[in-house]
Amino acid sequence: MAKEVKLLGAWPSPYVLRVQIALELKGVSYEYSEQQLWENKSELLLRSNPVNKKVPVLIHKEQPIWESAIILQYIDEVWGAGGPAILPSDPYERAIACFWASYIDDKWGPSSIGILRGKTDEERAAAAEQAFSGLELLEEAYEKSFKGKRFFGGDNVGYLDIVLGCFLGWIEVVDIMFSVKLFNNAKFPLLAGWAERFRAAAEVKKLMPEAKKLMEFAKAAQARMTAAAAN
């Protein structure tokens, strides 16, 4: 199996982490190939993803699949019998999960990561405000649509859990570096409890990058961007 499944990734990427968690949940063996995020991208990556030249790329039977959200759906369909379902089987629940996943990728994710990328206190404060507003919506959605469930996916980690949970390592870095605690138990008790359960899940715990290592990467990336701007 590992010979026919290959993942092109980069360890700091939350989107690569999504694919790793999904493959782990399904018990799929695969070959992992670490890639450069910026310069010196491999010929294999450029050939496999000529459109946006980014990770993750899942190569299955020599056919590349792009974009983490699409890859999750592909994994669920191809290896459906290999483990718990990733996407809900009920059409309405699936639609709701896909909606919130799109919201996280298009709105909430960029604002939360924007706290790290902000060049000034004002930029970081604006990004934090947007991130908190998004969490208010997600807390409300959890209460209304997923109340009583251990995860968004039910009793097991599922699609929306993976999409949101992949950011938790970076959220911890935001807290350490800027004292902005997004998953605040006082403000968002349901999400805070969910985050603890997600991180403790066996399939997730073994893959989640350490905050210290991510923080070192973030500082190096900031230095790189500052140097590039100066030049």
Domain coordinates in residue numbering, the chain: 5-82, 91-213
Question: CB under 8 Å to 121, separation ≥6 — which residues?
Answer: none
Any idea which of 7-11, 43-47, 218-222 has the lowest mean pLDDT?
Answer: 218-222
pLDDT at 38 over 90: no
Pairing mode, if any, of strands 5-9 and 31-34?
parallel
The whole-number average pLDDT for the span 198-219 is 94
Residue 224: predicted pLDDT: 77
pLDDT tens sequence across 108-147: 999 999 999 888 999 999 999 999 999 999 999 999 888 7
pLDDT at 46 over 70: yes
For domain 5-82, give the CATH number.
3.40.30.10
Q: Share the mean pLDDT of the chain.
A: 93
**Tokens 């908190």 map to which residue?**
132
Per DSSP, helices labelled H in the chain are: 14-26, 43-48, 68-78, 91-103, 109-117, 121-145, 159-165, 168-178, 189-200, 202-205, 211-230
Distance CA 46, CA 21 (A): 24
If pLDDT is split at 50, 70 and 90, which confidence band does 1 have? low
For domain 91-213, give the CATH number.
1.20.1050.10
Burial letters 116-132, b for 16+ CB under 10 A, else e: bebeeeeebeebbebbb
As a whole-number percent, the residues of the chain with pLDDT over 70 amount to: 98
Residue 227: predicted pLDDT: 72
The whole-number average pLDDT for the span 31-60 is 95
Instruction: Determine whether 2 is exposed, middle or buried from the number of CB atoms within 10 Å of its CB (0-12, 13-18, 19+).
Output: exposed
Closest CA to 24 of 85, 87, 83, 89: 83
Closest CA to 76 of 19, 32, 30, 31: 19
